[in-house]
């Protein structure tokens, strides 16, 4: 039997309750992903470990757990040199390998997420990607489209924090020449992927990882898609709940609070996210059509995966934060369409995690032996019946908080400090996880806490210095390493008498 081609579609910030019938957000239109899921094995209990963008992909590429954090800023670091990646293993075994992404973090200085990929294409310009820059006049009118009559002002203190403003200005410079739908990021990502498929359709076996950041903040799809979900909003295009950008903004650029707008702003912001989902799905469909056009369905595994979700006023807030380790943030999409039609349209409810993806890909590629040293396990064994479960519970670490979830309980606590507000939810009887039973069930708490401590190899709290590793990164440590250059650029410009790049 010839080795199978493998195509992975990874979508950022894509909730797990959208695709398929009977879910909370089923009304959001995703015809392409619905069709793919209907033809796939659907893993309904997939959870991230650990939470944010880069740590998730680290686990996906290496098959290794992220927590306990050992290599840098809460797991936000390059792939350790001693960990082999899926792409490295496959390219050594005759696969053509490709990476196509607009996810800027994968390509930042000193990152090495292209390891093992024969070809990689970085679609430039997402969020804080340090791509284009210019004077304030170049984006002044565009800024009005997003924030109305509000005009930002550089703080008087030249050393003041300018992190979020710098990222926003960077984004506006990156998109200022956008004119038509094809200039958005999803069309570019999946258009490039279609070209890669055409060029490699007769170059089997191949492994293509497509990483689309379109559904990540900033939720900024073409207006026609937004109007499908909200055609009554008359405010600026991107004015939003204050903490979505950054709660430490020096100015009032953060926008109005939800309560001040009586819900209208929340409805519009939610519509922007839903529109991003539908817009991106359109171009996922273009890719699936390209696979069909080249008659690759009988030789290609198609995997749909997401790295985490986001809150949409589920518990009164918006965005991703370690304080809300609930399924709207921690649960993932994972569907696998296999050429063997006997393995289609099935549901698997066993616990799986993102670091199981690497062993799964290797298993499907006939290289399962290469995953023996990995922490993860192939989820395909759950489909073939070789195993009925991979683990009794799953963990999700996000910065300095951790969730432990089993078939009934979700326990959430701090791990490097004594959490004053630990949480315990009976998600069987309280699926929305609104009622904290921590103080009412000490026996359950003791069991769940022991699981965290066993994983860490010590008692909670277990203080950990983020400066212990040379690879430590983050917005305040080695900023040139892991973050955009834009905040530094704009802060430097604040020291000029005529800053030009920012308004005085």
- Residue 447, CA atoms < 13 Å, CB-side half-sphere: 11
| CA dihedral of 17, 20, 26, 31, whole degrees rounded to 10 | 120
State the pTM of this model: 0.94
Q: Confirm if 234 and 32 have CB atoms less than 8 A apart.
A: no
Encode the chain (504 residues) as per-residue pLDDT tens digits.
799 999 999 999 999 999 999 999 999 999 999 999 999 999 999 999 998 999 999 999 999 999 998 887 788 888 999 999 999 999 999 999 999 999 999 998 778 999 999 999 999 999 889 999 899 999 999 988 888 877 777 878 888 777 777 888 899 999 999 999 999 999 999 999 999 999 999 999 999 999 999 999 889 999 999 999 999 998 888 766 543 444 444 444 444 445 554 678 889 989 999 999 999 999 999 999 999 999 999 999 999 999 999 999 899 888 888 889 999 999 999 999 999 999 999 999 999 999 999 999 999 999 999 999 999 999 999 999 999 999 999 999 999 999 999 999 999 999 999 999 999 999 999 999 999 999 999 999 999 999 999 999 999 998 765 544 444 444 444 444 556 778 888 888 888 888 889 887
Pairing of strands 41-43, 334-337: antiparallel
Task: Tell which residue, 121, 268, 258, 104, has the closest CA to residue 170.
Answer: 104
| Beta-bridge partner residues of 472 | none
Written as six digits, the tokens of 212 are 């689309």
Which residue in the block uniquely carries the two structure tokens 């900024």? Answer: 220
Pairing of strands 96-101, 119-122: parallel
Model pLDDT, residue 161: 75
For residues 411 and 326, what is the distance between their CA atoms, to the nearest angstrom? 10
Q: Confirm if 156 and 150 have CB atoms less than 8 A apart.
A: no
Instruction: Kindly tell me the burial class for residue 255, based on how many C-beta atoms sit within 10 Å of its own C-beta (0-12, 13-18, 19 or more).
Output: buried
Residue 384 per-residue DSSP state: H
Longest dimension (CA), the chain: 70
Task: Tell which residue, 372, 350, 352, has the closest CA to residue 363.
Answer: 372
What's the Cα-to-Cα distance from 59 to each of 13, 310, 354, 426, rounded to whole Å? 17, 20, 6, 28
Task: Tell which residue, 399, 416, 439, 414, has the closest CA to residue 425.
Answer: 439
Model pLDDT, residue 259: 54
Model pLDDT, residue 318: 83
Model pLDDT, residue 187: 98
Q: Confirm if 39 and 238 have CB atoms less than 8 A apart.
A: no
Domains of the chain: 5-136+182-229+276-391 (3.40.720.10), 392-473 (3.30.1120.10)
Q: Helix 264-293 and helix 31-38: axis angle, to 10°? A: 60
User: Which residues make Cβ contacts (< 8 Å) with residue 29, sequence separation at least 6?
Assistant: 228, 278, 281
Model pLDDT, residue 238: 77
Cα-to-chain-centroid distance, residue 222: 21
> Among positive and negative, which fits the CA dihedral 16, 19, 21, 23?
positive
Helix locations, 201-263, DSSP H: 223-229
- Residue 216, CA atoms < 13 Å, CB-side half-sphere: 22
Model pLDDT, residue 262: 61
* Three-state SS annotation for 278-346: HHHHHHHHHHHHHHHHCCCCCCEEEEEEECCCCEECCCCCEECCCCCCCHHHHECCEEEECCCHHHCCE
What's the Cα-to-Cα distance from 90 to each of 99, 113, 379, rounded to whole Å? 13, 15, 18
For residues 253 and 201, what is the distance between their CA atoms, to the nearest angstrom? 48
Q: Residue 419, SS3?
A: coil
């Amino acid at each position: 039997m010839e080795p199978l081609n493998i195509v992975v579609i990874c979508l950022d910030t894509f909730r797990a309750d959208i695709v398929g019938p009977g879910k909370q957000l089923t009304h959001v239109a995703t015809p392409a992903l619905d069709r793919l899921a209907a033809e796939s094995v659907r893993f309904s209990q997939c959870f991230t470990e650990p939470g944010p963008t880069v740590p998730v992909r680290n686990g996906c590429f290496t098959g290794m757990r992220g927590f306990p954090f050992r290599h840098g800023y809460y797991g936000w670091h390059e792939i350790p040199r001693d960990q082999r990646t899926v792409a490295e293993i496959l390219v050594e075994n005759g696969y053509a390998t490709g990476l196509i992404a607009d996810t800027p973090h994968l390509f930042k200085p000193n990152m090495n997420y292209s390891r093992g990929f024969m070809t990689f294409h970085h679609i430039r310009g997402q969020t804080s990607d340090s791509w284009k820059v210019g004077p304030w006049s170049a984006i002044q009118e565009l800024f009005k489209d997003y924030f109305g009559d509000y005009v930002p002002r550089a703080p008087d203190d030249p050393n003041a924090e300018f992190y979020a403003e710098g990222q926003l200005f960077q984004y506006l410079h990156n998109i200022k020449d956008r004119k038509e739908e094809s200039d958005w990021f999803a069309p570019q990502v999946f258009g490039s992927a279609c070209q890669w498929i055409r060029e490699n359709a007769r170059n089997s076996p191949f492994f293509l990882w497509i990483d689309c950041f379109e559904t990540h903040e900033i939720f900024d799809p073409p207006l026609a898609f937004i109007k499908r979900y909200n055609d009554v909003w008359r405010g600026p295009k991107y004015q939003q709940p204050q903490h979505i950008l950054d709660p430490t903004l020096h100015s009032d650029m953060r926008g109005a609070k939800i309560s001040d707008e009586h819900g209208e702003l929340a409805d519009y912001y939610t519509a922007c996210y839903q529109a991003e989902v539908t817009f991106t799905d359109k171009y996922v469909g273009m890719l699936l059509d390209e696979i069909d056009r080249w008659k690759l369905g009988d030789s290609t595994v198609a995997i749909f995966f997401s790295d985490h979700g986001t809150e949409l006023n589920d518990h009164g807030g918006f965005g991703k934060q370690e304080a809300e380790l609930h399924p709207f943030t921690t649960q993932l999409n994972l569907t696998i369409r296999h050429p063997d039609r006997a393995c289609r349209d099935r549901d698997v409810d066993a616990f799986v995690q993102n670091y199981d993806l690497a062993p799964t890909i290797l298993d499907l590629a006939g290289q399962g032996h290469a995953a023996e040293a990995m922490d993860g396990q192939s989820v395909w064994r759950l489909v073939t019946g070789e195993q009925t479960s991979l683990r009794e519970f799953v963990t999700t670490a996000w910065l300095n908080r951790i969730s432990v979830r089993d078939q009934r309980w979700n326990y959430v606590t701090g791990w490097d400090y004594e959490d004053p507000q630990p949480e315990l939810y009976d998600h069987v009887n309280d699926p929305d996880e609104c009622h904290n039973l921590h103080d009412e069930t000490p026996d359950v708490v003791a069991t769940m806490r022991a699981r965290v401590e066993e994983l860490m190899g010590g008692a909670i709290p277990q203080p950990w210095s983020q400066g212990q590793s040379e690879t430590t990164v983050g917005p305040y440590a080695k900023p040139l390493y892991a973050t955009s250059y834009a905040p530094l650029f704009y802060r430097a410009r604040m020291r000029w008498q005529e800053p030009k790049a920012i308004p005085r």
